[in-house]
Amino acid sequence: MRLDKIVKELELEVLTEKNIENDVEGVYIGDLLSLVMANANEKNLWITIQTHLNIIAVATLVGLSAILIAEGMEVEDETIKKANEVGIPVLRSKLSAYELACRLYELGV
């Protein structure tokens, strides 16, 4: 499914420059970056509450479609700056990871 459709349906806040036309295949949820590096799959949408700069490196390494920050966590400026540099969309929602996962499942992701 295209990312812009997910953003529209779940009313997600887009924190990076708007390049959200890429494809999403599946979802990964996790906050320990070592596990994300080991277990997430390419094109996954990644739901996390970690906001450290390293999330961008991990997303690039795995080839994730986008990062979705749950619980309305505050994201550091340098994280967004890096995301724009490498072209990883960073989205945000006030909902919890569980609520987001349910909505994504309903959408058919």
Partner 1 sequence: MRLSYDLHIHSVLSPCGDKDMTPNNIVNMAYIKGLDIISVTDHNTMENVEAVMKVAKKRDILVIPGIEVTTKEEVHVLCYFRNIEDGMEFQDFIYRGLPDIKNNEKLFGSQLLMDEDDNIIGKIDKFLLNSTKYTIKEINDFVNKLNGALVPAHVDKKSYSILANLGFIPDELNIKTVEVSSDYFSLSTDTLINLDRYNVLKNSDAHYLGDINEPIVFLDIERKNINFLIEYLNKSWRNIR
Binding positions for partner 1, rule: CB under 8 A: 31-37, 50-54, 57-58, 76
- Provide the minimum distance between the beta carbon of 54 and partner 1 in the complex, in angstroms, as a whole number: 5
The residue among 12 and 59 lying less far from partner 1, judged by its C-beta, is 59
Distance CA 109, CA 105 (A): 6
Q: Compute how many other C-beta atoms are within 10 angstroms of the C-beta atom of residue 98.
A: 11
Q: How big is the chain, counted in residues?
A: 109
Q: Token pair 């996790």 is at which residue?
A: 30
The residue among 58 and 95 lying less far from partner 1, judged by its C-beta, is 58
The residue among 17 and 31 lying less far from partner 1, judged by its C-beta, is 31
